Amino acid sequence: MNAPQEARRFGSGRAVRRIEDPALVQGQGRFTDDLAPAGELFMAFVRSTHAHGRIVAIDVGTALAMPGVVAVYTGADLLASGILPIATAPAFKRADGQPMAAPPKRARPTPWWWLTVAWWARTTSIAFSQAR
Amino acid sequence: MPLLRLNVNGRPVQTEVEPQTLLVELLRGPLGLTGTHVGCDTSQCGACTVLVDGTSVKSCSMLALQAAGRSVTTVEGLARADGTLHPVQEAFIACHGLQCGFCTPGMMMTATCLLQVNPQPSDDQIADALEGNLCRCTGYVNIVSAVRQAATVMNAEGA
């Protein structure tokens, strides 16, 4: 009575083979590092070696002077360029119109975020170069 | 630059390489074989695993020049010349042994090496052999299943 019946409807009750697998098992996948567009740059993150602290200044001069380095950006640069906080999902309202219970949102790209190191290995600056 | 002669996926290759060039850099760069992935650069993840004279090697921890005169097999050389997939490749598809597919080439090369040495491995032996290959989709259960199924198929074909 409960014996499995052969599915008669397309897409129902059958194992589905993923269409991406044949390429992936033959090394024909295309991951970001597999692409080499003309003029591509390589990005490196410089991370904090301190667990906590306030960034007073970052000297990017030595990095910029290295051959092939195109640009170095720090949090202060992003602030100065007017990059806005990452938009977060709007809070739902309760049936009575009150805001839902939620922890305070901490949108990251605030002055506090860019000028404070809150944990070890946090990104402090980003460098772009023509070679690794 | 030193001249390097080796065999890659059954084809003779002759190229000049800088002495410090890693085998994986030669494969992915000048040879264009991007199926071999670099996941960590610190020889932990195993995504770059290839076969060198049949033995699995993390190609990020070997210099290209060290492969002089050797035969290197990458994931691109796993299928037969007529395009028929290797039993390990078939089994990874059939057992859903891959999700994003990034670790898969390394997993399959390690598994291929294991099955050459040990055609009937236990699940523990499979897990032990794959110790140096990390999967961040955490599909290990299905990966072990895939290797087990590949072993069954290869033994049946060989019998």
Positive or negative, the Cα torsion across A127, A128, A129, B3? positive
The Cα–Cα gap between A55 and A75 comes to: 9
Q: What amino acid is encoded at A131 in this protein? A: A
Model confidence at A106: pLDDT above 60: no
Q: What is the mean pLDDT of residues A69-94?
A: 77
Residue B143: what pLDDT? Answer: 98
Model confidence at B78: pLDDT above 50: yes
Residue A5: pLDDT band (50, 70, 90) is low
Rg over CA atoms, chain A: 25
Model confidence at A105: pLDDT above 60: no
Q: What amino acid is encoded at B28 in this protein? A: R
- Residue B75: both structure tokens together: 């994931």
The Cα–Cα gap between B92 and B98 comes to: 6
Q: Which long-range contacts (CB under 8 A, 24 or more apart) does B51-56 make?
A: B51/B109, B51/B112, B51/B113, B52/B23, B54/B113, B54/B116, B55/B113, B56/B109, B56/B110, B56/B112, B56/B113, B56/B114
**B104/A26 Cβ within 8 A:** no
A 68-97: CB under 8 A from B = none
Q: How many angstroms separate the Cα of B102 from the Cα of each of B29, B66, B67?
A: 18, 26, 24
Using one digit for the tens of pLDDT, what is the confidence trace for B82-118? 999 999 999 999 999 999 999 999 999 999 999 999 9
B96 closest CA partner among B40, B144, B62:
B144
**A27/B75 Cβ within 8 A:** yes
Q: Which of A17, A24, A32, A33 to mutate to test the interface with B (most CBs of B within 10 A)?
A: A24
Residue A122: pLDDT band (50, 70, 90) is low
The Cα–Cα gap between B106 and B87 comes to: 15
Helix (H, G, I), strand (E, B) or coil at B7: strand
Q: Which residue has the higher pLDDT, A30 or A90?
A: A30
| Element spanning B90, H or E | helix B87-94
| A29 in B contact zone (CB under 8 Å) | yes
The Cα–Cα gap between B45 and B103 comes to: 8
Residue A104: pLDDT band (50, 70, 90) is low
B133 closest CA partner among B73, B57, B30:
B57
Beta-sheet strands, E only, within B21-99: 49-52, 55-58, 71-73
Report ipTM (2 d.p.).
Answer: 0.94
| B35 in A contact zone (CB under 8 Å) | yes
Mean pLDDT of chain B: 96
CA distance A21 to chain B (A): 6
Using one digit for the tens of pLDDT, what is the confidence trace for A38-81? 888 888 888 888 888 788 888 888 888 888 888 888 878 877 88
